[in-house]
Structure 1
């Protein structure tokens, strides 16, 4: 464990530049389609085949779906009236939102309507593949709670499997040096219609995270991987974890025996994990093997969609602009 968690050799130069690149490119992730090389395509290994429940237990790690702020930018100033009432400005924005301070929405964004649909499609595909889920853990971010809930809806188990909110699954704290977002409480989530496990005692708290806001990337991996190890060791059955782009790596890398990546490589990896990406690991059930888990093919195909620019009907009133478009 200690050897795997050693900080990458050499200085972490270029992080600021990579951060700027990440901020620019993450807005276009929904329009990114990654095509494997032809020699990597396995034509005999299809999605949507029935999950083999005779094998070892499985963990499915999912990134949250499309978020409002990456889709609409600084959306809060024009989405609330002077009394703080939410105003829907686009059909892809939520129809309603739970009551909270506007500044809290700015730092803890909801999903778009397409995002909720993405998550539900993911759950439906898991159901078609025969996936069985026994426990669900989610980052406290509202977008993750919504994603988990919609996946469970697609699986048809939204009412029977409650979501265990785990602050330790929150993303790299480097993005939150000014302080954590103020997340909705379990009580507020329940009152908004979410099935939350009220009796679950999280392994980490917001207070714990507030003490480590200057978190390095290797510390982030350590935090997530140690929490994941504890979840895997102290529970039974199949687990669904809903978190952030980095969660797919931090909650699986150590389990399968891979070493931590240098900071720049890790940031580049995040750009390759679009909304609702799914990764799956399975226990080997072989005592002689050094690592208990191995990667397996996810139970469902990925989701790709094109970028759809916002339409302003008034462009039809401007003859000059129309003529310019047809020069």
Structure 2
């Protein structure tokens, strides 16, 4: 069963803008997917990804399985790490794309742009698992912060639960994700969900690493982990940068969007 969960945030990325009235997104630098909300890493982020790789490739215990958000910047952040590990026959040889661990968008009356699917991403990243299908899909109209926490907890239950039953017996998993999702992951795994979601607890610096260790075999998945490392950045030449925290609901509307439970594929 999984004993250690490693979580990294993508490196420093290019920016985008959005018209909150129309939902029109724009980015001055587009990635190969051509999706405005899917920009690539900035040159500085590419350097961070290389420094991150030096650290990830020497973790103890080593990485057995890798999951990633479907966004280009996350896969680009992982690339120096996976190229090295997969060449050495380590870390499972393929990245599993999981939308349930993807980006957070505030609730809106319009649909946010969807990330590229695995078939398109495979044109740019050759080491994606072709048969893996995401276990959860975020609501296209975005989420309240509470909904994000629920979605992330559900995704982790499904992902870790499936790995616990994997005949290959992986002990560790690496997840590459985004700032808000990284915070929600820390809260779900430890069970330390504050009443005020704006609480500054779990950190999420660019290209940082958080480490969680299972307390006891056989315990339920959520709340069964200790945080050993909270957003480590000592291996980065620039140290801790671009920290982020929740600061009130980041919604585009005050209207209620119909609730839709992300659809699990059991």
Larger strand fraction of residues: 2
Cα distance 1:291–1:300, how it changes in 2: closer, same or farther (>3 A)?
same
State yes or no: 1:255 paired with 2:189: yes
| Higher percent of residues as helix | 1
Aligned to 1:116: 46
Once the two structures are TM-superposed, the CA of residue 214 in structure 1 deviates from its matched residue by: 4.8
Q: Pick closer, same or farther for the CA change 1:129–1:192 going to 2, 3 Å.
A: closer
Q: What CA deviation, in whole Å up to 9, does each residue of 1:117-163 have, x standing for no partner?
A: 21222121122344421221111111112112233235465876211
Are residues 184 and 56 of structure 1, via their aligned partners in 2, closer, same or farther at CA, if it must alter by over 3 Å?
closer
Secondary structure of 1:59's partner? strand
The alignment of Structure 1 onto Structure 2 pairs a total of residues equal to: 220
Counterpart residue number, 1:142: 72
1:22 aligns to what?
none
Query: Superposition RMSD on alpha carbons, in Å?
Result: 3.2
Q: Please, what TM-score do these two structures have when normalized by structure 1?
A: 0.58
C-alpha change, 1:286 and 1:189, in structure 2 (3 Å) is closer
| Distance across 2 between alignment mates of 1:56 and 1:204 | 20
Query: Which of the pair has more CA radius of gyration?
Result: 1
> Following the alignment from structure 2 to structure 1, what is the Cα–Cα distance between the partners of residues 49 and 61?
15
1:120–1:153 Cα contact (<8 Å) kept:
no
Aligned counterpart for 1:162 among listed residues 75, 94, 101 = 94
Give the deviation of 1:244 after TM superposition.
0.4
Listed as ranges, the matches of 1:35-50 within 5 Å are none
Contact 1:218 1:260 in 2 (8 A): no
TM-score (normalised: structure 2): 0.70
Residues 7 and 175, structure 2, Cα contact 8 Å, conserved in 1: yes
Query: 1:61–1:247: 8 Å Cα contact kept in structure 2?
Result: no
Structure 2 CA distance for partners of 1:126 and 1:222, relative to 1, 3 Å: same
CA distance in structure 1 between the partners assigned to 2:98 and 2:80 by the alignment: 18
1:179 to 107, 111, 132: 111
